[in-house]
A and B are shown apart, each in its own frame.
Chain A
Amino acid sequence: MRSTESNVTQSITQVIAASSLGTLIEWYDFYIFGSLAVIIGQQLFPSDAGASALINTLAIFAAGFIVRPFGALVFGRLGDLIGRKYTFLLTLVLMGGSTFLIGLIPSYSSIGYAAPILVLILRLVQGLALGGEYGGAATYVAEHAPVGKRGFFTSWIQTTATLGLFLSLGVIVLAKNILGAKNFADWGWRIPFLVSILLVVVSIYIRMKMHESPVFSKLKAEGKVSANPLKESFQKKANFKMVLVALFGATMGQGVVWYTGQFYAQSFLENTCKLDFNESRYILLWAIVFATPFFVIFGSWSDKVGRKWIMLTGMALGVICYRPIYQYFLDATNVKEMQKTMLLSESEPVIERALVPNKADSLITTTVTKTLTNGMTFKESKVEVTTEDVLAEVPGVQTVIKDVTLSTQSYIMVIALVFFQILLVTMVYGPIAAFLVELFPTQIRYTSMSLPYHIGNGVFGGLVPFIATLIASFQGSTPLSGLWYPIGIAALSFVIGAVYIDNRRGDNVMD
């Protein structure tokens, strides 16, 4: 008896390891683009595009998210027709291939607007592939998991998205530190994309050795495989109403909490608070390391107390805490005010002169590195334009703050606050795979659970950096205005989830 139990545990461990590795690599592929948005923007768009280059790059990044639901439909249907194993082998190949090709695309200076168009096409393929991947992996693991432990076992799949982000940040920081900032910005940013092909080959090899899900195999042997999963999922009211409640009462709120905590936080620290490139990434890396075990803790706990209230508590805490947290980020990095009373030293100015494209004007940048009494450092650049045209209107001197590094106390506090946001992510995300799997029958599970998951995460969540940055750029808005998008969506999802969803632990996924 004990031997059989041990074999089952060993078998599920292998299933989780093989599924998770491939899914982790897909997340890695998907996230390196977002982590390099600023540098990619400079490569894909004209050098004078300014802030619109970042917003357009975030739009291309978001395009990958937007097509995820279509990937869920296409590959979900395939998964319900031909099986889980071969479908997510295909998604892995598509994801790896398109990521590798992004690393080879020439810059705007070589091929003009063909560069962003080609990247957009490859980004869409990435989104389609990811749309097919996650639902398959979660379904595959859940259909192997023993009754009463589905939350625990599927939570391992849930760690892969965060670990994929961790891996992407780690590879980027490593490559940048080895190559130096200039080489990395010129060509080194391509390395994280090119490395992907090696990871994908390893993962394909491992996945080739996996067996089909026992539940799906049984269904196939009995001739009960759905003839038209799309029709059954969305044309039957009984199924479609569950798709809607899963989307509006769970995945929509979960998606914005995920992307606020793990993407917007880093984007805000880097672009709004002007934190140093490495520092903002190290903060996220530390927070991820401390928070990741909680995916498994909350997944496992949901087997005992149910999925609903763990997920909804995560959303409610996000609604309450986001503004105070981001206000602290602003206060902790407000070096303009701090230097009035805390300036300790100032380096010799470094002066750079550059001709602007009209060849008549010069751009003079004077940069000093300042240190404050609390240990913080930052660079302050004064940018002025000189012109040979005596009649021309010359813009005034602009002061730009960049590369802020925090004091030890603030650094620890910011890590703690990003950790707290990722803790909320683990609450909403740890139990959600089990929740979705248990909501739909085997015949149409891959299709039905994939769509609300990818609309919630891909559309509502994936658009967080883009929409929040857009809102914050409106006239009259404050740096915190962008947060109204995730707060509003999470609040709406909390109300719908609290009223319409049952607190189930669903024992049966075999039907």
Chain B
Amino acid sequence: MSGLKKILGLLWIVLGPAIIIFLFMQAADKIAAASEGIARTNTILQWSIIILIFIPICTGLVIFGYYAWKGEYDHLPESSEELS
């Protein structure tokens, strides 16, 4: 199980930036496709919100993957002494 946790850790490290790139590509595509005026302003606003929210979350996913790769999750703490 420890080996699987580490290997998947690499996947999470890659997945974080991949999601952000995918979101940027989608945003560019949809904004370009939106008609002029209010429709385009709305589309830019909506995609800005989505990207702004998901950047820190994807950063968290990369950190999670890094910890997994380093074996930090091979044993989960079972008491506060282990956490402090």
Contact = CB atoms under 8 A, between A and B. Distances in A.
A49 B37 CA distance: 12
Contacts of A55: 42, 46
Q: Binding site of B, secondary structure by majority: helix, strand, loop or mixed?
A: helix
B57 interface: yes
Contact of A455 (B8, B57, B73): B57
Contacts, number: 77
A365 B68 CA distance: 61
A59 B49 contact: yes
A108 to B, nearest CB: 14
Interface string A457-480: 001000100010010001100000
Interface in B34-84: 38-39, 42, 45-46, 49-50, 53, 57, 60-61, 63-64, 67-68, 72-73, 76-84
B18 to A, nearest CB: 12
A286 B17 CA distance: 43
Nearest to B64: A244
Interface string A375-404: 000000000000000000000000000000
Interface stretch (A17-25, A233-241, A354-362): A233-241
Contacts of A173: none
B63 to A, nearest CB: 7
Contacts of A59: 45-46, 49
Contacts of B82: 238
A247 interface: yes
Interface stretch (A200-208, A323-331, A497-505): A497-505
Contacts of B78: 504, 506
B30 to A, nearest CB: 7
A138 B8 CA distance: 32
A245 interface: yes
A271 interface: no
A99 interface: no
A442 interface: yes
11 contacts: A242-B83, A244-B63, A245-B76, A248-B60, A248-B64, A440-B83, A467-B50, A496-B8, A499-B5, A501-B76, A511-B80
Given A238-B84, A459-B53, 13 more contacts: A52-B39, A52-B42, A59-B46, A62-B49, A237-B67, A239-B83, A241-B64, A245-B73, A247-B60, A441-B80, A463-B53, A470-B46, A511-B79
Interface of A: 49, 52, 55-56, 59, 62, 66, 236-242, 244-245, 247-248, 440-443, 455, 459, 463, 467, 470, 474-475, 495-496, 499-502, 504, 506, 508, 511
Interface of B: 1, 4-5, 8, 12, 30, 33, 38-39, 42, 45-46, 49-50, 53, 57, 60-61, 63-64, 67-68, 72-73, 76-84
Query: Can you list the 9 inter-chain pairs with the closest CB atoms, starting with the nearest?
Result: A441-B80, A511-B80, A244-B64, A238-B83, A241-B67, A500-B73, A52-B42, A502-B76, A241-B72
